[in-house]
Amino acid sequence: MLKSTTEALMADERAKKHHVLADRLQRALSAVPVTPPALTTSATGGGTGREAIIEIQPQMRLDDLLLPLPVRENGRQLVEEHVRADVLRAHGYEPRHRILLSGPPGNGKTSFAEGVAEALALPFFVVRYDALIGSYLGETNARLRKLFDYVRTQPSVLFFDEFDAIGKERGDTHETGEIKRVVSFLLMQLDQLPSYVVVIAATNHAELLDRAVWRRFQMRLAFPAPDRNQVEVFLDRIISNWPEAPRLSVQKIAAKMETASYAEALDFCQNVRRRNILGLGETGIDDALETELDLWSARVRPERLNAERSEQTAAVAEEPIPPGSARRKAKEHRQA
Ligand SMILES: Nc1ncnc2c1ncn2[C@@H]1O[C@H](COP(=O)(O)OP(=O)(O)O)[C@@H](O)[C@H]1O
Ligand SMILES: [Mg+2]
């Protein structure tokens, strides 16, 4: 239902030549979490501002995450500034409340935002772009206004995932005036938001963000993929809770995995346990691990597909040209 409505909306956008908007809508939609929606949104459609928000019960705790030192420290400061906001205000300061998270998928951006909400015991609101972006001129801004009017009524953590979908460079040549208006309006709303609303925006592509957008954020935190050592620590944490320890050390497992996001490493471990559990005693943890390691090397990874593609093109470009061939002569002629 949600999907068909959004598809209709996108078709509508395309029909009106709002391709950029439609593309962004599409990308933003794919970012909306699959956690059961709607239950907490207003069913009346009367425009309370809650339509474009999903409230999620924060489960993740900041302490459950393995975070780079600066992220951990900034997270701690952020929480303290809000817990003790009265002290700051007594001295004429406001807690910081506009946070930008960037980094490749699966390394804790959403979890961090959730962890902040959990630590502050605030509602965690995730913005639904599919319900935000309208097809009529000015409709998106009208909905944004309602969203912000609603949000400013109480302290909360407001999460914009895939923020580059809307906060992208305004200098695009294909840019429609409507998108410029939406971005400007969004920036203005962010500026005017009271500090008890913690806005956290996440992006896989910080470099795509408009400078004016970038500047709005008081804290900008990088969530890089874990290095080998961090993968080992992460695996160890998970595996030490298994009823049976595999013979292979976490160092060896991490070495075989080469690179992984935290989310991928977690998936991997869960799959090993699934094999193990369904094996009903027939499949030992070592067999399960071996099976999954074999599958791991064959898995599809978008980044790797791209890398392989560019390696192939590079290989073609550098393929040696046999001496004396017509191509060689042509090349020498060009270089002369
Ligand atoms: N830094 C981390 N420490 C521990 N677990 C992590 C970390 N990053 C990701 N995970 C695991 O991967 C899952 C997906 O991560 P998520 O926060 O959605 O990543 P992102 O939003 O950056 O794509 C999380 O629910 C968590 O279980
Ligand atoms: Mg995320």
Task: Dump pLDDT digits (tens) for 249-281.
Answer: 999 999 998 889 999 999 999 999 999 999 887
- The amino acid present at 191, given as its one-letter code, is D
- So what's the pLDDT on residue 246? 93
Q: Is 160 in the pocket of ligand 1 (CB under 6 A)?
A: no
Which atom of ligand 1 approaches the CA of 111 most closely?
17
- CA nearest ligand 1 atom 16, residue: 108
103-117, 145-159, 296-310: the lowest-pLDDT one? 296-310
How many angstroms separate the CA atoms of 198 and 151, rounded? 10
Nearest-5° angle of CA 42, CA 45, CA 48? 65
- So what's the pLDDT on residue 69? 96
Residue 34 has pLDDT above 50, yes or no: no
Q: Is 223 in the pocket of ligand 1 (CB under 6 A)?
A: yes
Per-residue pLDDT tens digits for 41-83: 433 345 788 889 999 999 999 999 999 999 999 999 999 999 9
The radius of gyration of the chain's CA atoms, rounded to the nearest angstrom, is 24
Q: Where are the beta strands (DSSP E) in 26-151?
A: 53-56, 98-102, 124-127
Residue 186 has pLDDT above 50, yes or no: yes
How many angstroms separate the CA atoms of 292 and 276, rounded? 11
- So what's the pLDDT on residue 319? 40
Q: Residues 297-307: what's their mean pLDDT?
A: 64
Which of the four CATH numbers 3.40.50.150, 1.20.1250.20, 3.40.50.2300, 3.40.50.300 does domain 2-222 have?
Answer: 3.40.50.300
Q: Residues 330-334: what's their mean pLDDT?
A: 47
Q: Is 266 in the pocket of ligand 1 (CB under 6 A)?
A: yes
Q: Where are the beta strands (DSSP E) in the chain?
A: 53-56, 98-102, 124-127, 156-160, 197-203, 219-222
How many angstroms separate the CA atoms of 79 and 115, rounded? 10
Q: How many angstroms separate the alpha carbon of residue 266 from the centre of ligand 2? A: 15
Q: Which ligand is nearest to the CA of 231?
A: 1
- So what's the pLDDT on residue 327? 47
- So what's the pLDDT on residue 134? 80
What's this model's pTM, rounded to 2 decimal places?
0.77
Residue 317 has pLDDT above 70, yes or no: no
Kindly report the backbone phi and psi dihedral angles of residue 187, in degrees, each rounded to the nearest multiple of 5, phi listed first. -60, -40
Q: Is 141 in the pocket of ligand 1 (CB under 6 A)?
A: no
Q: Which H or E element spans position 2?
A: helix 2-15
- With bands split at pLDDT 50, 70 and 90, how would you rate the model's confidence at 315? very low
Q: How many angstroms separate the alpha carbon of residue 261 from the centre of ligand 2? A: 12
Per-residue pLDDT tens digits for 9-32: 555 555 554 555 545 555 555 554
The residue extents of the domains of the chain are: 2-222, 228-297, 302-335
Q: Residues 284-296: what's their mean pLDDT?
A: 89
Mutation probe of ligand 1 site: the residue of 32, 74, 262, 270 with most atoms within 8 A of C-beta: 262
- CA nearest ligand 1 atom 4, residue: 65
- The amino acid present at 9, given as its one-letter code, is L
Q: Which one has a higher pLDDT value, 40 or 231?
A: 231
52 Cβ neighbours under 8 A, 6+ residues apart: 127, 128, 129, 131, 132, 143, 144, 146, 147
- So what's the pLDDT on residue 135? 76
- So what's the pLDDT on residue 318? 40
Per-residue pLDDT tens digits for 143-176: 999 999 999 999 999 999 999 877 665 555 455 6
Residue 233 has pLDDT above 90, yes or no: yes
CA distances for 229 relative to 70, 170, 253, angstroms: 18, 40, 11
- So what's the pLDDT on residue 298? 83
- So what's the pLDDT on residue 50? 87
- So what's the pLDDT on residue 37? 41
Token pair belonging to 1: 């239902």
- So what's the pLDDT on residue 27? 55
Residue owning tokens 């239950």:
39
Q: Is 108 in the pocket of ligand 1 (CB under 6 A)?
A: yes
Q: Is 106 in the pocket of ligand 1 (CB under 6 A)?
A: yes
Kindly report the backbone phi and psi dihedral angles of residue 234, in degrees, each rounded to the nearest multiple of 5, phi listed first. -65, -45
Which atom of ligand 1 approaches the CA of 202 most closely?
21
Q: Are 131 and 31 in contact (CB under 8 A)?
A: no
Q: How many angstroms separate the alpha carbon of residue 223 from the centre of ligand 2? A: 11
Q: How many angstroms separate the alpha carbon of residue 102 from the centre of ligand 2? A: 10
- So what's the pLDDT on residue 6? 53
- With bands split at pLDDT 50, 70 and 90, how would you rate the model's confidence at 283? confident
Residue 201 has pLDDT above 50, yes or no: yes
61 Cβ neighbours under 8 A, 6+ residues apart: 115, 118, 119
Q: Residues 94-121: what's their mean pLDDT?
A: 97
How many angstroms separate the CA atoms of 116 and 98, rounded? 13
Which atom of ligand 1 approaches the CA of 101 most closely?
22
Nearest-5° angle of CA 170, CA 173, CA 177? 60
- CA nearest ligand 1 atom 27, residue: 263
**Average predicted confidence (pLDDT) for the chain:** 81
Q: Residues 80-99: what's their mean pLDDT?
A: 98
Length of the chain: 336
The whole-angstrom distance between residue 218's C-alpha and the CA centroid of its chain comes to 19
